[in-house]
Amino acid sequence: MMMTNLKKIFISLACLGLLIQVASAALPLDWFANESKMPTLAPMLDQSKPAVVNIATRSHVPVQYNPLLNDPFFRRFFNIPQQQQPQKRTTQSLGSGVIFDAKQGLVLTNNHVIQRADEITVSLTDGRSFQAELVGSDPETDVALIKIPAEQLTALPLADSDQLRVGDFVVAIGNPFGLGQTVTSGIVSALGRSGLGIEGYENFIQTDASINPGNSGGALVNLRGELVGINTAIFSPNQRVGNIGIGFAIPSNMVRQISDQLIKYGEVKRAYLGVQMQDITPDLAKAFNLDSNNGAVVTRVQKGSAADDAGVKVGDIITAVDNTRLSNADNLRNTIGLLMVDQTIALDILREGEQKTLKATVKEVQKPVVEPSAHPRLSGATFGDIEASSPQYGKVAGVMVYSVKHDSPAQYSGLRPEDIITSVNKQAVSSLEDFKPLVQNNRTLLLNITRDKQTLYLFIR
């Protein structure tokens, strides 16, 4: 009996020693420098928290009303008074941000935090508040850069997110539910998450560190206090359920690429290869005599594009870009879309079972022709063909709404930027050429619109 107990004690001590060894390899060295100290993240957080800010926005949104109220006969018949200035309602939202450049006062956040905001207020941990101006934003990756006129700021250093591994400890810092700065911890649950339909370009870090509404734009840091990602979204079965341990952050390397362009151009000049692609299904893999489903098969090559100049052909299977293996078509699209314009890359392809490497110099996406509408109720909006860099390109046929001015008839009619109009008065449209005569020759319009993966009708007269 005594020997059995001693054996159990020996095994327990051995396990404890192993746990301490593993923990000491992952945690900061000063955690175990003094036996009298308890392990804590406080020293790291004391340095990191001042770089994470709270963001409050205010927007003035027009109130939607029945379009019949625009008809003078209708108003007279029902004795409805003349409409005055269109009514507006004020909306407010809360989010988070990360100080990116202390000298310049640059703050990173999500595009959806500041989108359409008329006022952006940044509050620091020391109690100071500043009105921010927008430097630039990229809705496709959900990254935005704002600037505040502040001194004595603390910025977070950016880590190399390509070095992250599943199982690494991470800490999320943000402003959930407007409670104020809050810290949660967890691990990296997965890497390279894409195809979720959250953003146009996706390469998310998945984490179980609690991320809730208001955390958007906040920091995901490693145990050295370096920024590894910008917290962006959570997965939830429905809106009534909060965090369930599945959160997503934009990797710091992607953030660095986007912010460099926002600083230089105020926008992202997205690179374009000039191909349409398709995932490799098991049936396609069998048809092409492939050993795996990794990569993307080329279904169309645009004439005069970078791919055309490089010699890419329909039926080629692109397996890697600059020696980075590709898993699917979305992976290829994300990789190309994050490159700098005029950058030369190596494309590894399979053509009829033969391995080839082609050199391609990616070009800037050519913006489609954008024109205002001749219909009075659509004035203030610009329309154009769906651009090649859009996630909807090749998937939806229609005309895209590129911009809508504040207080314009188009805004009060219910149009929003990035709406895709698929039909006018029940007639399908696939280009500006189809769209223009239909809106010019009809007083009343019934528009079928795709918005945020949903469809709706707008009746305009």
Q: Which of 138, 142, 330, 385 is catalytic?
A: 142
Give the residue among 141, 147, 139 at the shortest CA–CA distance from 108. Answer: 147
Give the residue among 113, 69, 117, 317 at the shortest CA–CA distance from 217. Answer: 113
Distance, CA of 122 to CA of 135 (rounded, Å): 14
Q: Which of 48, 112, 189, 252 is catalytic?
A: 112
Q: What is the DSSP letter of 3?
A: H
* Length in residues, the chain: 461
Is 142 marked active-site?
yes
Whether the CB-CB separation of 299 and 314 falls below 8 Å is answered with yes
Sheet containing 119-123: which strands, arranged edge to edge? Answer: 129-131, 119-123, 52-62, 88-101, 106-110, 143-147, 133-138
Is 375 marked active-site?
no
B/e letters for 64-77, b = 16+ CB within 10 Å, e = fewer, are: eeebeebeeeeeee
Q: Which of 216, 252, 259, 305 is catalytic?
A: 216
Look up residue 106 and give its two tokens: 């640059």
Distance, CA of 109 to CA of 97 (rounded, Å): 5
Distance, CA of 216 to CA of 193 (rounded, Å): 17
Give the residue among 416, 414, 442, 413 at the shortest CA–CA distance from 427. Answer: 442
Is 348 marked active-site?
no
Coil vs helix vs strand at 330: helix
Distance, CA of 435 to CA of 373 (rounded, Å): 9
Whether the CB-CB separation of 362 and 336 falls below 8 Å is answered with yes
Parallel, antiparallel, or unpaired: how do β-strands 247-251 and 227-234 relate? antiparallel
Look up residue 9 and give its two tokens: 């004690």
Catalytic residues: 112, 142, 216
